[in-house]
Structure 1
Amino acid sequence: MKTSIITDQIIQNLSIASLTARDHGLKHVELHGLDGKSVECLSEAEAREAKACLDEAGLTVASLASTIFFMCPLYDDYEISLFKPEFAVFRGNIRDHLDQLKHVCDLADIFGCNVIRVFPFRYPDNQPGKLGGTEEDLNRIASVMKEAADIARDHGKILALENCPYSHLPKGRMTREIVRRVNSPSLKMLWDPGNSYRAEVTQVPEQWLNTTLEEEFQEVKDDICHIHLKNYHLDPVLAKPFVHTGMLEGDIDYISLLPRIAALDVTVSLEPELDPDTCVKEIDVLSGCVRDMNL
């Protein structure tokens, strides 16, 4: 199993993050936030500087965790806002994001990376009670992703569409539907089981509910090209009931899931969303699982 971590889970300073990742045995990393910028917002000169830093640490880039189509309204009348201000993003309309995708494909060449994370559009603030993932949404998202996949194809890249609880498609089964509709080798899934677990059921149409993570994995596994690992504990008495935990400390049974994931031969990236010291410890936890399970 190829293991990785999104470097800004350690710190946004890539020099420190890369050396820390290396010293804890990783050979691969994923890039999102670097000194306050999302990776797709780097200039080519900044990307070359970052690549030199990674080369010095002996690390390769498994994926560019761009925010293409995240802070992008799916419909013109949608108002969207950022869920936490420190999350680095690119903003604009659909055309802006498609144009920026061409730039991030060029950056991926600099980093020697083939996989680029994209999102299924931020959920609107001004449509309370509206379900995401309706047939209208699916058709519109698939249309945009078809154009995006064509851009990726022309650059020799693969887009990894992430199921995200802040988006129109929080469940992995929902992003897989887009992948199947687009039907392009340049569009695959980034499966995040933690995101599927904590997806807001009040936002998801009934047809996408009532599936366990194990069942979802079996359904989507052939379309996965990258995976994020995080865990939660559900505490219903809290105002925000999904509490981040260590990978082996939450409600998701990774002891059962990891051997199945390992059979896919894709890179898994830690995204614990915990404090930096704990995120570093999670590298050792994942490495221990890989060693103990002979993955």
Structure 2
Amino acid sequence: MVSTTQVTWQLSGFGDEIDDDPAVQIAVLQALGANHIEVRSAWGTNIVDLSDEQLQALATLLSEKGMKVSAIASPIGKVDVSLPVEHEVERLRRAANAAKVLDAKYIRIFSFYYGEGVQVESIRDAVIERMRALADVAEEAGMILLHENEKDIFGDVPDRVLDIIESVNSPALKVAWDAANFVQVGVKPFDEGYAKLRPHLEYLQVKDALFANGHVMPAGEGDGDVLRTVEALKADGYEGFASLEPHLAGAHGLGGFSGPAAFGIAARAFAKVTAEAGVQTA
């Protein structure tokens, strides 16, 4: 049954899942009805490694095309926790500079890998120390960090994500919800995570996956409870971003990849979900 009450969310997407060229990224996203882009890399270079000249060129291109940036999809925290605190603090400063140049307030981050054979509980204090240091940088910069529940990091399951958010206790650290990543670590996203994390949920990353084999699927075609989550978010008054991260054509050096055609498939699948839930995207 289609809901008759509609709300509007801002549609975005990981541009580098479409193409290395940001001009192509923008063209495809706009053709799919998005007015925002999530920037992870441009011209094959990660956002934290772009030169000042490249950042300015990207900002100029976005402005000329009337495209805004929903978030900086940084790799911060996607390193081993044994590295010094300063290692990711310095990289986050570069990500924050990119966010300033591109006029974005959100920066996506992670909560650290750990070595094989290491007990996850044993790294908790080191993770919290690092996440607090990152939150301090974000507070100083006037930006908001979005923790993504990536598999194989400390914050891969709802309880540990909540532990991070509550322990750091910063207005500059919020939750990016990724249903597919929860499925890939054996979590039923809506039943086991939504109620715990909803008070801190600031950003929706859109992809789905199957419990059977972990394969990533278009939204609504896997076990990620995407429709239930969208319906609940709508009922809760969520008015933020929904960022397409399809991962439908494997991976490349900078993250997941889809290509223009598969990205379109993902966008249309999510449009079907939002239409059923009575959510408009723009």
* TM bucket normalised to smaller: 0.7 to 0.9
Corresponding residue pairs, total: 259
Report what 2:273 is aligned to.
Answer: 289
Report what 1:266 is aligned to.
Answer: 240
Select which of 220, 228, 235 maps to 1:256.
228
In 2, Cα distance between the equivalents of 1:44 and 1:287?
Answer: 36
1:73 aligns with 2:59: no
1:140 aligns with 2:148: no
Q: How much does 1:69 deviate?
A: 1.7
Q: Is the 8 A contact 1:172 1:192 kept in 2?
A: no
Aligned 1:62-141 pairs, distance under 5 A: 62-70=70-78, 72-75=79-82, 93-124=84-115, 127-128=116-117, 130-132=118-120, 134=121, 136-141=122-127
User: Which runs of no fewer than 5 residues in structure 2 stay unpaired?
Assistant: 1-8, 250-258
In 2, Cα distance between the equivalents of 1:164 and 1:10?
Answer: 21
In 1, Cα distance between the equivalents of 2:207 and 2:104?
Answer: 23
Q: Is the 8 A contact 2:55 2:101 kept in 1?
A: yes
1:3 match: secondary structure: strand
% identical equivalent positions: 20
1:4 match: secondary structure: strand
Whichever residue aligns with residue 208 of structure 2, its letter is: N
2:209 match: secondary structure: strand
In 2, Cα distance between the equivalents of 1:123 and 1:28?
Answer: 34
1:256 match: secondary structure: helix
Q: How much does 1:155 deviate?
A: 0.7
- Structure 1's 57 and 148: CA in aligned 2 closer, same or farther, altered over 3 A? same
In 2, Cα distance between the equivalents of 1:234 and 1:216?
Answer: 16
2:75 match: secondary structure: strand
Report what 2:254 is aligned to.
Answer: none
Q: Is the 8 A contact 1:5 1:283 kept in 2?
A: no
Report what 1:51 is aligned to.
Answer: 59
In 2, Cα distance between the equivalents of 1:112 and 1:196?
Answer: 30
User: Which runs of no fewer than 5 residues in structure 1 stay unpaired?
Assistant: 77-92, 202-208, 236-240
Select which of 200, 204, 211 maps to 1:227.
204
- Structure 1's 9 and 30: CA in aligned 2 closer, same or farther, altered over 3 A? same
Could you tell me the TM-score, scaled by structure 1's length?
0.82
Report what 2:154 is aligned to.
Answer: 168
Whichever residue aligns with residue 139 of structure 1, its letter is: D
Q: How much does 1:14 deviate?
A: 0.7
Q: How much does 1:115 deviate?
A: 0.5
Q: How much does 1:292 deviate?
A: 4.3
Q: Is the 8 A contact 2:20 2:43 kept in 1?
A: yes
Select which of 246, 261, 265 maps to 2:218.
246
Report what 1:278 is aligned to.
Answer: 262
Q: How much does 1:216 deviate?
A: 0.9
Report what 2:195 is aligned to.
Answer: 218
Larger RCO (CA within 8 A; separation ≥ 6)? 2
In 1, Cα distance between the equivalents of 2:227 and 2:221?
Answer: 11
Superposed CA deviations along residues 9-28 of structure 1, whole A, max 9, x for unmatched, are 11121110111101111011
In 1, Cα distance between the equivalents of 2:162 and 2:108?
Answer: 14
2:183 match: secondary structure: helix
In 2, Cα distance between the equivalents of 1:57 and 1:258?
Answer: 29
In 2, Cα distance between the equivalents of 1:36 and 1:158?
Answer: 25
**Structure 1 consecutive aligned stretches of length 4 or more whose deviation exceeds 6 Å:** none
Could you tell me the TM-score, scaled by structure 2's length?
0.85
Q: CA RMSD in A?
A: 1.8
Report what 1:15 is aligned to.
Answer: 23
In 1, Cα distance between the equivalents of 2:32 and 2:176?
Answer: 24
